[in-house]
Structure 1
Amino acid sequence: MTDRVLYLVVCGAPLAKRVGDGVRAARESGWSPYLIPTDAALPWLETQDLEGAPVLTANRKPGAPKRAPVADAVAVVPTTFNTLNAWANGNAGTYPLTTLCAALGARTPTVAVPFAKHDLAGHPAWLASLAVLRYAGVRVVNPHDGSSTALAPVASGTGEEVAKRFQWSWVLNQLQEAGA
């Protein structure tokens, strides 16, 4: 029986094609996953077996009941340049960003797997945003090797290979270490 709730925020990058694997790994670790994709991530989810995990795509209508219980933890896999910077700056202009900003404010244990090419990762806002999120307690996981101490950009044209080698245990272990 799963009773811990995991919000899995998904951005549009090659690692998004492994979300079905993440749902299975989360359930095997005792989580009830709820997917919250950005608009750019939706095409990556269309052909995956998400095993019935709820997919929440927009703000609820006024007066509508909540669609998910409060999260015990959040994982952002992958997080793109745009989403990471908007999140660190407190921009809650979309449902996924509102979810991330609220989790940060509530101090919900959160793990992020940044997935950005070297040219974007070289932008000064990227490093500043990573620093803000780490300061706020977000655990950052390198998509190449699961390291939480070093982060490498994704070389152009290698996203599919990085996604193939990615291990969901890296995220789940970080959540466990965070006390989630």
Structure 2
Amino acid sequence: MTKPVLYFIACAAGPTQHVDDGLRQALARGWDTCLVLTPSAARWWEPRAGELEKLTGHPVRSQYKLPTESDALPKATAMLVAPMSCTTLNKWGAGISDTLAIGLPSEAVHMGVPVTAMPYFNQAQGAQPAVARSVAALREQGVVVLDGPDGYEAHPPKQGNPRAYPWHLALDAVEASAAPAA
């Protein structure tokens, strides 16, 4: 029996420094996990990308493939965008998919693939009016957005704790949304 495939999509937000922790949790739960990074997040991991590829068994993607290239990753059963930065949230909410990390989930949610997203940004960023509009736009499309008490609550500026990011809450939500209907 093949394992379900999780596209684990991480943005340039503090917890991405520890994305290997989230990947290990997903792997321990039985997911065949593929990592996709925003271009900025890929720069953070560039010197250690081989570690992530060894961990997942798949290439780490951060750029669209060329039309002549075949897909490097298996078809996704579910997608998780975590940590989701304020920039990614607002671009995605506005329909701008200029990176692979936004393009994949923005299409997937309309192709029947369960998509979950959990942000990581501070209260000042979260206070921007575009944030509430973007969250509403994603939810309207069927994306499970975990913000607030059931996911990640925005932290005061300069007081975030990237190491304590609740990967387990995001993975719980992915499993709930990807579970077959009874």
Q: Same fold (TM over 0.5)?
A: yes
Scaled to the shorter chain, the TM-score interval is: 0.7 to 0.9
Q: TM-score, normalised by structure 1?
A: 0.87
Give the 5 Å matches for 1:73-152.
73-142=78-147, 147-148=150-151, 152=153
Q: Could you say which residue in structure 1 is the equivalent of 2:171? A: 172
Cα distance, 1:30 vs. partner?
1.0
Q: 4+ residue runs of structure 1 moved beyond 6 angstroms?
A: none
Aligned residues of 2:78 and 2:178 also touching (Cα < 8 A): no
How many percent identity over aligned positions?
29
Cα distance, 1:126 vs. partner?
0.4
Unaligned runs of 5+ in 2: none
Unaligned runs of 5+ in 1: none
Rounded to whole Å, the distance in 1 between the matches of 2:101 and 2:178 is 23
Rounded to whole Å, the distance in 1 between the matches of 2:10 and 2:79 is 11
Q: Could you say which residue in structure 2 is the equivalent of 1:41? A: 41
Rounded to whole Å, the distance in 2 between the matches of 1:178 and 1:122 is 28
Aligned partner of residue 36 in structure 1, secondary structure: strand
Aligned partner of residue 34 in structure 2, secondary structure: strand
Q: Deviations over 1:133-167 (max 9, x none)?
A: 12222222248x6x15xx632211122x2x22223
Q: Which amino acid aligns with 2:168?
A: S
The 1:88–1:32 alpha-carbon spacing in structure 2 relative to 1, beyond 3 Å, is same
Aligned partner of residue 88 in structure 2, secondary structure: helix
Rounded to whole Å, the distance in 2 between the matches of 1:61 and 1:141 is 33
Aligned residues of 1:6 and 1:34 also touching (Cα < 8 A): yes
RMSD, matched Cα: 2.0
Aligned partner of residue 109 in structure 2, secondary structure: helix
Rounded to whole Å, the distance in 1 between the matches of 2:107 and 2:177 is 18
Aligned residues of 1:81 and 1:116 also touching (Cα < 8 A): yes
Aligned residues of 2:37 and 2:61 also touching (Cα < 8 A): yes
Cα distance, 1:25 vs. partner?
0.8
